[in-house]
Structure 1
Amino acid sequence: MLIILSWKTFWAGWGTDEKALILVLAHRYPHQRMEIRNAYHHRYREDLIRRPESELRGDFERALYRWILDPADRDAVLANVALSEGKVDYRVIIEVSCTRTPEEFLATKRAYMARYKHSLEEPVIFARYDGDEINAKLAASEAEMLHHAIKEHEFNHEEIIRIVSTRSKTQLLATTNCYKDDHKISITKTLASNRENVLVDALQAAIRCLTVKEKYFVKVLRNALDKSGTHEDDLTRIILTRAEKDLRQIKDLYYKRSSVPLEQAVAKETQGHYEDFLLALLGN
C-alpha cells in the first residue's frame, strides 16, 4: 500500500523519479506488478501502463512499458511489433512460439486476440506435444529425412516443416542428436552453411530455440552487443522475457562464450536509466 500511496510522486511535475521506478518495478514478480497496476488504477482512475509513454522516452520507456505488462500480453505486443514493421522479424515469432510452454503460448494467443481483435497466425508452430517420451527409432528415421532434404536444398520440404513444427522438444532434441552422431556435424551448422533464403535462417533459429534455447539467447545477446552497434530491441527483449525464467543460466553461458560478464557488456554498451534498469533486471 505504501508503494501505491507514494506512486504519484514518481510522476510529479518537477520530474519523474526514474531511480524509484527501477527500485520498485525491477524487483517485483509478474503478479506483484499486476497488483500494483490494479491498485494504481483503483486509486487514481488511470492505467499505470500509460504513464511511461507520457513521462519517459526512448529505450528506457519501451523497456519499462513492456516490463509492466503481463508476460502473455508482453509476448503479444512483441509479436505484433515483429509482424507489423514492414519486414517481419521471424526471430521474435519463433522465440515466442518455440521457447514458451504450450500453456504460455496459448495465453499469448488469447492476449493477442484480446488486444488486436484478430488471431495470431503462428508461422513456425501449430501444435506441439510437451511430454518427455522419446521414440529412438523415429528420431533416427527423421534425422535421415532431414539430412536428405537439406542435402537436396529442399528447405521448404513438408517433412522438415512437419518435424520441426509438431515434434516435442525432447523428441526433436533426440533427432538432432542422431543427426550429429550420424553425420559428425550439427544440423544447425549444416543449415548455416546452406543459407540461401529466409526460410533457412528461420529453420535454424527454430531448431535452436527448441533444442538449445540458452545458446540461442546468448547468440542473440552477443549479436545485440556487437561492437558495430548495439541492437537495443533485441537486448531489451531477451533480458525482459528471460529475467524470470532462465536468465541466470544465460548469464553463465554468456560468460563462458565471451569471457566477459553480461552485466559488464551491457554497462559498456548502454547508458542512463535504460542501463540502470537492465542491470537491475540482471541482478545488480
Structure 2
Amino acid sequence: MATVKFVENPPSPAEDAEQLRKAFVGWGTNEKLIISILAHRSAAHRRLIRQAYAEAYGEDLLVSLDNEISGDFERVVLLWALNPAERDALLANEAARRWNPSNKVLIEIACARSSGQLFAARQAYHARYHKSLEEDVAAHTTGDFRKLLVPLVSVFRYEGEVVNATLAKSEAKILHKKITEKAYSDEELIRIITTRSKAQLNATFNHYHNEFGHPISKDLKSDPKDDFIAALRATIRCITCPEKYFEKVIRLAINKLGTDEGALTRVVTTRAEIDMKNIGEIYLKRNSVPLDRAVDNDTSGDYQSMLLALLGREDA
C-alpha cells in the first residue's frame, strides 16, 4: 500500500507544467511549489507533466530541475520525477558501474519488483544506455556475485500462484544439502533461487523450515561477514518479504552515525507508490517511533519536506 497522498482531480498536466516553470523563473527557486506539485501526483500524471513541459518550453523538466535545485533535495525530486522503469534503470546503472560486494541495489531491483516491472526496467535500460542491463552487470561483477546477479536481473519469473508441492519438497532438500556443505554458490542452489516463481520459492522455503526446523535465512547467517551469503539472504528476503527488507534498509540508514541519504532516498522514492504504508507499520512496530517522525528528526530543509510528503505526512 502506498503512503503518498495524491491530489484528487489535479490540475491538467499543462497547468502543472506552467506552475513548475513559474517555480524556476525570477529570483530564487520556489522549492515549496515544486514539492506541492510533484510530491502529490501519480507516476502516470508526472509522465504527462514532463510531456507537457517539454512541449511548452522545449526542455526536459528533469534538465530544468537539475539546473535549479541541488544536493539531496535534487536527488529525491529527480528520482521521483522519473517513471518507475526509468528510475530502476538509472539506479541499476549506478549500482553496476559502482558495484561492490556489499551493494544490494541490483538485488532489490531484480527481486522486489514483479516480472513485468523488471522487464520494463530492462527495456528502459536499453533505451537510456544503448546496451543491456545484464551486459553491464556481467561486465562489472566477478566470481560468485556474477553467477548470482546476471541470472537475477535476466529472469522473467512466472507470476501466478500455481505451486508444485513435490518440487518444493525436493528443492528444499537440495538447498539444505548445499547450505550444510557451505556450497553457497553451487549451480543448483543459484538455479533454484534465480529461476523459480516467488510462489514456488515461498513453498520451498516453507518446506525447508518445516523439514529442518528453522528458516533458510537462519542457516545463511553462519558467517555474518561473508558478503556473498549476505547477498543470498537479501535475495531471499526481497523475494519473500520485501517490506521487512526495506524497513531494515531505512532503519540502518537512519540509525547509523550520520544519515545514509542515498539509501533513504532510494527506498522512499521506489516504494512510496507500492508498499510504504506497510513498511511504515513494520518500522513503528519494531522501533516504537512512527517512520515519518524518525525521518523528520534525521533530515532537514527541502529534502526533509519532500520525503515527508512522499511518506504521506498530512502537513507536507
Which structure has more relative contact order (CA 8 Å, sep 6+)? It is: 2
1:269 Cα deviation from its structure 2 partner: 0.9
Q: Which residue of 1 aligns with 2:162?
A: 133
Q: CA deviation at 1:159?
A: 1.1
In the TM superposition, residue 87 of structure 1 has moved relative to its aligned partner by 2.7
Instruction: Name 1:257's counterpart in structure 2.
Output: 286
2:68 maps to 1:55:
yes
Query: AA paired with 1:283?
Result: G
Q: Displacement of 1:18 after TM fit?
A: 0.6
Q: Does 1:186 align with 2:221?
A: no
Please name the residue that 1:278 is paired with. Answer: 307
List alignment gaps of at least 5 residues for structure 2: 1-13, 135-148
Compared CA separation, residues 263 and 92, structure 1 to 2 (3 A): same
Equivalence for 1:3: 16
The superposition leaves residues 205-229 of structure 1 with CA deviations (integer Å, 9 ceiling, x where unpaired) of: 0110001111111111111111422
Match of 1:192, SS state, is: coil
Q: 1:165 to 1:90 in 2, by over 3 A?
A: farther
Is 2:209–2:216's contact at 8 Å kept on the other side of the alignment? yes
- The question of whether the paired residues in 2 share the 8 Å contact of 1:82 and 1:89 is answered with no
Shift of 1:7: 2.5
Secondary structure of 2:220's partner? helix
Taking the TM superposition and a 5 Å limit, the aligned residue runs for 1:1-284 are 1-85=14-98, 87=100, 90-121=103-134, 123-125=150-152, 126-195=155-224, 197-284=226-313
Q: Secondary structure at the match of 1:179?
A: helix
Aligned residue type for 2:252? N
Cα distance, 1:192 vs structure 2: 1.8
2-side partners of 1:124 and 1:236: how far apart? 27
Q: Which 10-residue stretch deviates more, 183-192 or 103-112?
A: 183-192
Tell me the distance in 2 between the aligned counterparts of 1:23 and 1:196: 44
Letter in 2 for 1:112: Y
Contact 1:239–1:247 at 8 Å: present in 2 too?
yes
Deviations 1:30-66 (A, max 9, x none): 1100111111111111110112211111111011011
> Any runs of at least 4 consecutive aligned residues in structure 1 with deviations exceeding 4 A, and if so which?
none
Displacement after TM superposition at 1:146 (Å)? 0.9
Cα pair distance change 1:17/1:89, threshold 3 Å: farther
What's the % identity of the aligned pairs?
46
C-alpha distance in structure 1 between counterparts of 2:267 and 2:243, whole Å: 11
Counterpart-to-counterpart distance in 2, 1:206 and 1:74:
20
Uncovered stretches (5+) of structure 1, i.e. residues with no partner: none
Structure 1: distance between partners of 2:22 and 2:225 = 54
Secondary structure of 1:32's counterpart equals helix
Instruction: Give the Cα separation in 2 of the matches to 1:194 and 1:130.
Output: 32
Residues of 2 paired with 1:186 and 1:193: CA distance? Answer: 13
CA RMSD of aligned residues (A): 1.4
Aligned equivalents of 1:90, 1:130: Cα separation in 2: 26
More off after superposition, 79-88 vs 91-100: 79-88
Task: Give the Cα separation in 2 of the matches to 1:3 and 1:145.
Answer: 56
Which 10-residue stretch deviates more, 7-16 or 246-255?
7-16
Q: TM-score, normalised by structure 1?
A: 0.96
State how far apart, in whole Å, the 2-side matches of 1:187 and 1:4 are: 50
Most deviating of 229-238 and 73-82:
229-238
Q: Distance in 2 between matches of 1:92 and 1:7?
A: 31
Residue-pair matches, total: 284
AA partner of residue 2 (structure 1): E
Q: 1:175 to 1:86 in 2, by over 3 A?
A: closer
Q: Aligned in 2, Cα 1:86/1:194: closer, same or farther, shift over 3 Å?
A: closer
- Aligned in 2, Cα 1:89/1:108: closer, same or farther, shift over 3 Å? farther
